[in-house]
Amino acid sequence: MRGHFANLVVYSGIIATFFSVLTRRDRREQLRFGGLVWLSMVGGVLLLAYLMLPFPR
Amino acid sequence: MTETRPVAGRAVVDVSLGRTALALVAGWLVPGAGHAILGRVRRGALFFLLIMGSFGIGLAEEGRLALYSPREGFLTGLQLVANLGVGPADLFARMSVYGEAAYALPDPSDASHRPRIEKFRERQRSAVSAYGTAYLWSAGLMNLLLLMDVWDIAKRRKD
């Protein structure tokens, strides 16, 4: 798994699943919370990357 | 001693101190085992898969297995704690990567200093090493959180 995006998706998936199962008991709550965490992580990184577009190295 | 008492319409079993200690030790040795001992077998199995999955990806992506250095004692100490959180799997990984159970940088005058630091830098040169390190540290930190969760379950602060 060498791609940056693949790593982002998988890492966010692991973290989102872990915290949803750790902090929520109801299956629907877990799905909702996990989905929100996953979307926040992936979406947040993509947004940050977009904002950094005008500032290349 | 195990005592049963009704809470919110259902029987809740108090966990003895010995069983709590066993769950904590087992949970550190094998991620998720603490939950299984306290009767949360499916949850424990899922935690095992998540943590060992993260650990495995971290190793495959050449994540750093931290070595304690007195020059940066605080930071390298924290890194070591994050690595050690995953339990004996970290030891096996170190044996495989460094060829021995290495946890600290040896003295520069020591003959083993150079090969160990070279191995450490070699892994850092990989393009995905930073991701690998994040996976490794996350695996350890998630397992430490699980131990706190085991404690809360045993003390009935949580279901």
Give chain A's domain count: 1
For residue A56, being part of any structural domain is answered with no
* Model pTM score: 0.87
For residues B102-128, give the mean pLDDT. Answer: 80
For residues B41-51, give the mean pLDDT. Answer: 97
CB-based contact, B145 to chain A, within 8 Å = yes
Q: Give B1's pLDDT tier (boundaries 50, 70, 90).
A: very low
Backbone angles phi, psi at B68, to 5 degrees: -70, 130
For residue A21, being part of any structural domain is answered with yes
Instruction: Mark yes or no for CB contact A11/B131 under 8 Å.
Output: yes
Full residue range of the structural domain in which residue A44 is found: 4-51
- Please name the member of B53, B128, B145 whose beta carbon is closest to the beta carbon of A14: B53
For residue B159, being part of any structural domain is answered with no
* Chain A positions in Cβ-Cβ contact with residue B146 (cut-off 8 Å): 22
Q: What is the mean pLDDT of chain B?
A: 88
CA atoms of B22 and B60, how far apart (whole Å): 31
Cβ–Cβ under 8 Å, residues B90 and B97: no
Full residue range of the structural domain in which residue B127 is found: 4-154
For residue B54, being part of any structural domain is answered with yes
CA atoms of B75 and B105, how far apart (whole Å): 14
CB-based contact, B43 to chain A, within 8 Å = yes
Using one digit for the tens of pLDDT, what is the confidence trace for B22-36?
Answer: 999 999 999 999 999
For residue A57, being part of any structural domain is answered with no
Nearest-by-CA chain B residue for A21: B43
CB-based contact, B107 to chain A, within 8 Å = no
CA atoms of A40 and A24, how far apart (whole Å): 18
Using one digit for the tens of pLDDT, what is the confidence trace for A4-46?
Answer: 899 999 999 999 999 999 999 999 999 999 999 999 999 999 9
* Chain B positions in Cβ-Cβ contact with residue A15 (cut-off 8 Å): 138
For residue A35, being part of any structural domain is answered with yes
Instruction: Mark yes or no for CB contact A22/B61 under 8 Å.
Output: no
Give chain B's domain count: 1
* Chain B positions in Cβ-Cβ contact with residue A4 (cut-off 8 Å): 131
Q: What is the mean pLDDT of chain A?
A: 94
Q: Which pair of tokens denotes residue A40? A: 């926040």
H-helix or E-strand containing B12? strand B10-13
Q: Which pair of tokens denotes residue A14? A: 């692991």
